[in-house]
Structure formats: structure tokens, C-alpha cells
Structure 1
């Protein structure tokens, strides 16, 4: 949720970008410079005053509001309630997965049997849940950080374990660009987090490449799902015969 502090911070950034001093703004608002400084320090201003500041900056109010929204911290994890809302409707889950990959509405409806009206309905729901900020022309801003991950024991990962895990690993992993690695070993407990950080960087590189390659034609791209995991684990059959 945006606060008055966020709004004032955005205004100050716009003043700096426009190379406008407090004295310049005071002149445009027909106010004393001390009053402008006090107003921005307290964040005490009416909507009409914000509108006047926007005019002085030659900035549309909607654009200022968008920049305030863009400055909000991105989510690295959803709440349990948000995840339950996502998996409550499988089509909503599908659209959520698509927006995580930054698909446009046109790409989603071209790939899946969803009408434009249905897809817009689900985008609106994702906006209400807090995953995206829906904008004009059904464009959106993803409100999730690059380091975002589903809750380890949340509704989405539980759904994946129950409905998708076996299907995913049933594949041969022998196609072009495919592979499955299973490596077991004992390493220092202090070094283990470093390996996890490397895996996270691989995931981020994959996501970034996805973004970069969106400009390519469909015939030059292939959909892949990267699953990375690392945990302290031993096959149950082996554990059963431990001394």
C-alpha cells in the first residue's frame, strides 16, 4: 500500500530530475519556500495541492501515482492466504504462472483455451490478490521480485507435489536442451548455503533469458521448465538399512 511518505519521496525525485528547487516550486505554487519545505517534510497536502505540484512538474497525476507504485518493494514470497486464492481456481493458477513468465494477454489466449474476457477476469483477480498491478490496455506490472519463490509448504508447492511432480519426472529428459542431474554428497554445513545461492542465480539467469528472448519468433523458442532443488535427504530404502 502506498503511503504519503512514498508520494513525497516520488515528488522529491521528480523535482531533482526536473532540476527544480524548492524555491522554483514555491514560485509555481505561489507559496513561501519555507511553507513548501514544511509541507513536504510533514507530507501534509491536499489532492488539489498534489495536482498543482504535478502541473508545476509538467507531470500527469496518473504518471506520478504509477511511479509511486513502481517504487514499492517487490514481494519475495506470497502470504499463505494469497497462495490459497491462486490454487482455488486452476485457470487462475494457469494465468498466474503465465504472468510470472511475463506473458501478455495476447500470448495467453493464443496458447490456451481462454477467451479475452476470461483472461481479463483472472488478471483482475491477480491484481486483487496482489501479484500484479493491472494497467491500461490490460498490461500489467509484476509485483514479485526476481528472487520470488513459492512458500516451501504452501498451497502452490503442495499442489505441485500432488499433481505435477510425478508427471514432470516421468519424462526422459533426453531431448535437446534437456537434462536431469542427481548428485549426492556430504559437504560443509557452512558451504551448503553458497551452493543454494548459485542455484538461485541459475534460476534468475533462466528467467532473465526468458525475458530477453520474448522478441524472438515463436518458431525460434521452446518452453522449458527448470526445477532446482537441494535438501538434506536420503532415499527411504537406504535410510531403512542404516546402522
Structure 2
């Protein structure tokens, strides 16, 4: 959706929320209702007209712009350039992961040996990268989806393969709330996407539960990491035995 179309859609939503019809708006602006309808249908209105509509809505252009931004769909994947910037700095990567987990500024500073100035610097860089929108008092809004998908062969996944995968799978997976299951089989190729969607829902459920449990005291929570993957694959030590 273009910026203009998004603004028109926001104005329509604000009019509806305020209980105002096109006829009501026409009376306030001293215009014909047909002109109002035509203006919204074509999406063609000068800034002065937008300011007048904002006045009727008891708001201003800055607030409308914020609402347009809030209504935009969140990114589900970053560019290669954005990912390279994130993994180039270990502390920036850590703060990025904390932001994706919706940690507060205070949680980050109290949990890791990154001082306030360093954390602010990282948040400001994430804002410039378009990953968050940094607000007053070091608060922020995510500009990416909570279930952001790192590029399959991008900089972040390469970093994790090199530095994280071995550490993750070296555990016994025998602790409280842990499990490791390896299932191999052959299924109809058309069913693979169905399983992928179900696995994605599990990841989404976990992400939503994480957000819901943010209010719990620290002593009632433990950090967990789910790794979800599915691929057409045969273990390398068996490949030479394949007929």
C-alpha cells in the first residue's frame, strides 16, 4: 500500500472511530458531501485539506502520520545489508535479540554487562537500521514482526551456524522442560508445506507466551530456545549407502 493510500485508509478509520460520516465531515468543512466522497475515492487532497480533517478529528498531522506508521505491516525479514550490520557488532546483536524478545531498557542493562550509554547507542543504531523505532525514555516499538525470519543463508544464520549451533546441540536436552526429537520419514511432497505451517504456529505460540509472561517476576521464569527446522535431507554418513 502506498503512503497516500495508507493515509486515506487511516483517515477513514479515524472518521469511523469518531462516529463521523462523510455527511458530517462535509458540514464541518462546508463542502458538498459528493465532493468529500470524490476526494476520498481519488485519494487526492492537499495538505491544507488534511489539516482541516485532522482538526475535525481533534488531532494533528503528526499524530495521523504516527497512526499510518503503526498500521503498516511489520517486516518479516531484513535485508542482507541490515543483517550484516547487526552481526558486525556482538553487543548490537545481543541488544537486537533482546528487542525481538521485547525486553525493556532496564531489563537489558540489569541482565548484561552493557552499560546504559552502550545500550542507548545500540538502540539508536537499531532505529537507524529500521528494526525498532526509538522513543523517549529509551522506550521503543518493534518495526519487525516478533517472529522475524532470519534470511536462510544470510549473515545472521551464517553467524549462528558458526558460533551457536554447536553450543546449542552440545547440551543433553534432559533438563526440566527440555526435549530433543529426531524424526525421519517419507511423506507426500505436497504435505511438507502443511507441516511447515503447523511448526510456524508452534513458534508463534511460543513467541506470544513469552510476551504474556513478561509480567512474571524473574524467579518464576527460565530462558528457553526453540529451534524449528524441516528439510529434505539424508544424514551424510548414510549417503554413500543410498541406492
- Normalised TM-score (structure 2): 0.91
CA distance in 1: counterparts of 2:155 and 2:112, whole angstroms: 23
SS at match of 1:240: helix
Change (3 A) 1:215 1:2: farther
Q: How many residues align?
A: 243
Residue 169 of structure 1: aligned partner = 169
CA distance in 2: counterparts of 1:235 and 1:11, whole angstroms: 56
- The alpha carbon displacement at 1:60 in A equals 4.1
Could you tell which deviates more after superposition, 27-36 or 73-82? 27-36
- The alpha carbon displacement at 1:162 in A equals 0.7
| 1:31-58: CA deviation from partner (whole Å, max 9, x where unpaired) | 4434433433343444443233222111
Change (3 A) 1:233 1:242: same
| 1:47-106: CA deviation from partner (whole Å, max 9, x where unpaired) | 443233222111243332221011112212112122112112111111111111111111
Q: CA RMSD, aligned part only?
A: 2.0
| 1:94-140: CA deviation from partner (whole Å, max 9, x where unpaired) | 11111111111111111112222322222222222222222333222
Residue 234 of structure 2: aligned partner = 234
Q: Which runs of 5+ in 2 are unaligned?
A: none
Q: Tell me if structure 2 keeps the 8 A contact 1:2–1:68.
A: no
Residue 68 (structure 2) pairs with residue 68 (structure 1): yes
Q: Which runs of 5+ in 1 are unaligned?
A: none
Could you tell which deviates more after superposition, 153-162 or 111-120? 111-120
Q: Tell me if structure 2 keeps the 8 A contact 1:124–1:134.
A: yes
Residue 30 (structure 2) pairs with residue 18 (structure 1): no
Residue 8 of structure 1: aligned partner = 8
Residue 59 of structure 1: aligned partner = 59
Residue 187 of structure 2: aligned partner = 187
Could you tell which deviates more after superposition, 56-65 or 97-106? 56-65
Residue 210 of structure 1: aligned partner = 210
- The alpha carbon displacement at 1:145 in A equals 2.8
Q: Tell me if structure 1 keeps the 8 A contact 2:100–2:146.
A: no
CA distance in 2: counterparts of 1:113 and 1:60, whole angstroms: 42
